[in-house]
Structure 1
Amino acid sequence: MLFALLFRQAGATIDPEDAVRRRAAFEWTRTWALAATTGVLSGLIALTPALRAAPWLPGVTYWLIPAGIGLFALIDRRRARAG
């Protein structure tokens, strides 16, 4: 989460005219927030009784990271086409 907050801060300090760098900072913030959220979710699952029934589940949650990044890319492409 620290990286997400650092990229968020960087995005806030970039010149508003520099849309490319601001967009890059936003995308990195989003990606690192996704990674942090996935890690917390994995930890929470590991603390539940579901761990006995499915000991593989906390590790599988990390597949949400590439799936989320792919979803973000799809959303970004649709936004670019629309506007």
Structure 2
Amino acid sequence: MRAARHPGFCRAQSITCLDLLTAFWGLDGTKFWISPTDGHPDARGHRIIAEALARFLVPLLRPRSVGVPPYAAR
């Protein structure tokens, strides 16, 4: 599937989805390529991706419970 199809597919299937292309809006994406002929992200591109993932995932995490886990209380 092409990237443009993923958000629509996810909505149709009720799947939570993050379109990482939005993290690069307003930026020249080619500046974050490994090389002029390889469009994979370099270290700076991976940092942008990691920050976008963190903004998306952290609110979904459950707070850590305080206390001893049930399996450790034996």
Shorter-chain TM-score: which interval? 0.3 to 0.5
Higher helix share: 1
1 or 2 for the larger relative contact order (CA 8 Å, sep ≥6)?
1
Q: Please give the TM-score of this superposition, normalised by the length of structure 2.
A: 0.45
Higher strand share: 2
Q: Which has the larger radius of gyration?
A: 2
Q: Please give the TM-score of this superposition, normalised by the length of structure 1.
A: 0.42
